Amino acid sequence: MRNTILSLWFAMAAFAQVKAPMDEASLRNGQTLYQFHCAFCHGKGDDGMAANLVTPNLVHAPTDSSLVNIIRVGIPGTDMPPALGMSDEEMLQVAGYVRSLGRSAPVSVEGNAANGKAIYMGKGGCAGCHMVGGVGGKMGPDLTLIGAMRSPSNLRTSIVEPNAAMVGGWTMVHVTLKSGTKVSGIRMNEDNFHISLRDSKGKIQTLAKADATKIDRDLTKSSMPAYGKVFSGAEMTDLIAYLFSLRGAM
C-alpha cells in the first residue's frame, strides 16, 4: 500500500512537471498544428462552435498536463475527439499555443451585465430552460460557467442562430407510441432497444423502441428558438455581457 502511495506520488510529481513550451518557434509550430487539428471546431479560438480557448482559465484544463491529456484522449461524452497524428512534443506545442491565446483574454465585454441579467430573467425567459448556480430549468445546458467556456461571438451565435451552435448531448427527440401518445424530450441515452429522454418537466422516461411507431431526432435543429428578433441591439449586448460574466467561483 505504502509503495503504491509513494509510486503514485512520484507519478503525479512527474505528471505535474509537464510544461507547455512558450518560445517563439514552439508557438509558431503549435499554431500550425492548431490550424490543422483544432480550428475546424475552435476557429481562431473564440469564434468557433466549440469551447472558447481565448480565456485565461480553461474549465476542463486548469494545468498544462490536463490540457495535453485532453488533446490526447478528448473529452468522452462530448464532441471533443482525441487527436490523431500528433507526437507528445507536438501536443505540448499545441497546448502552449492554446495557452498563449488566453494571455490577453478579455474578462468582460461592452454592455451592462446587470441589465443583461434582468433580460435573462425577464423578457428573454432564459431561466425557463437554463440553470445558473442551481436555479432555473433543465431543457438546456447549465450556464453557470458559460462565460469561461464560450466566447462573446459564440454566445451571440447561440442566441441568434442556435442551429449553427449545436451542442452534443442536447438532441431533442419526438417519439410516437403505438397508443398514439407523443413524447418529446432531450435524449439522454439510446441503444438498439430503448430510448431514454427527459421531458420539459424534467421527468426521465425510458421507452421501448418496440412500442414506438415513429422516432424523430432533431440532429440539425436546436430545441432553442432563435432570439435574434426578440431583443434590440443594446439588449443583446447587455445579455451577452451578463452571460460572459458567468464564471462560477473562478
Partner 1 sequence: MKSVLLLTAAAGLMFGQDWMHFQGNPQGHRYSALKQINKTNVARMRPAWTFQLDKTDKFEASPIAHNGILYVSEPPSDVTALESRSGKVLWRYKRVLPDNVPYCCGRVNRGAAILGDLVFIGTLDAHLVALDASTGHVVWDVAVADYKKGYSSTVAPLIVKDKVVIGSAGGEFGVRGYLAAYEAKTGKEAWRLWTVPSTGEKGTETWLGDSYKYGSATTWVTGSYDPEINTIYWGTGNPGPDWKGDKRAGDNLYSNCLLAIDGDTGKMKWHFQFTPHDVHDLDSTQVPILVDEMWNGKMRKLVLFANRNAFYYVLDRTTGEYLLGKQYVRQTWAQPELSDKGRPTRMPNTAPTPGGTVVYPNSPGATNFQAPSYSPLTKLHYVMTRDEGGVFYSGDDTYKEGSWYLAGRFVSKPGEEASGAIKAMDPKTGKAKWEYPMSSPSWSGVLSTAGGLVFAATADGDMIALDDTTGKLLWKYPMGGKAFANPVSYIGADGKQHITIACGHALFAFVVD
Whole-number Cα distances in Å, 242 to 124, 126, 132, 147? 13, 12, 11, 8
Of residues 174-193, those binding partner 1 (CB under 8 A): 190-193
Candidate residues 134, 220, 233, 249; the one interacting with partner 1 per rule CB under 8 A: 220
First to last CA, the chain: 35
Tell me, by CB under 8 A, how many residues bind partner 1.
16
Q: How far is the CB of 56 from partner 1 (least distance, A)?
A: 29
| φ, ψ (nearest 5 deg) of residue 168 | -60, 145
- Using the rule CB under 8 A, give the single segment among 6-14, 83-91, 118-126, 199-207 that binds partner 1: 83-91
Q: How far is the CB of 146 from partner 1 (least distance, A)?
A: 22
- Which of helix, strand or coil describes residue 175? strand
- Cβ proximity to partner 1: between 26 and 237 the closer is 26
Cα dihedral 160, 163, 166, 170 in deg (nearest 10): 100
DSSP 61: B
Residue 25 binds partner 1, judged by CB under 8 A = no
Cell triple for residue 119?
433580460
Cell triple for residue 219?
440532429
b or e along 175-192 (b: 16 or more beta carbons within 10 Å of the residue's beta carbon)?
A: beeeeeeebebbbeeeee
Of residues 36-55, those binding partner 1 (CB under 8 A): 36-37, 40
- Using the rule CB under 8 A, give the single segment among 123-131, 173-181, 200-208, 217-225 that binds partner 1: 217-225
Residue 3 binds partner 1, judged by CB under 8 A = no
Residue 86 binds partner 1, judged by CB under 8 A = yes
Applying CB under 8 A, which residues contact partner 1? 36-37, 40, 81, 84-88, 190-193, 217, 219-220
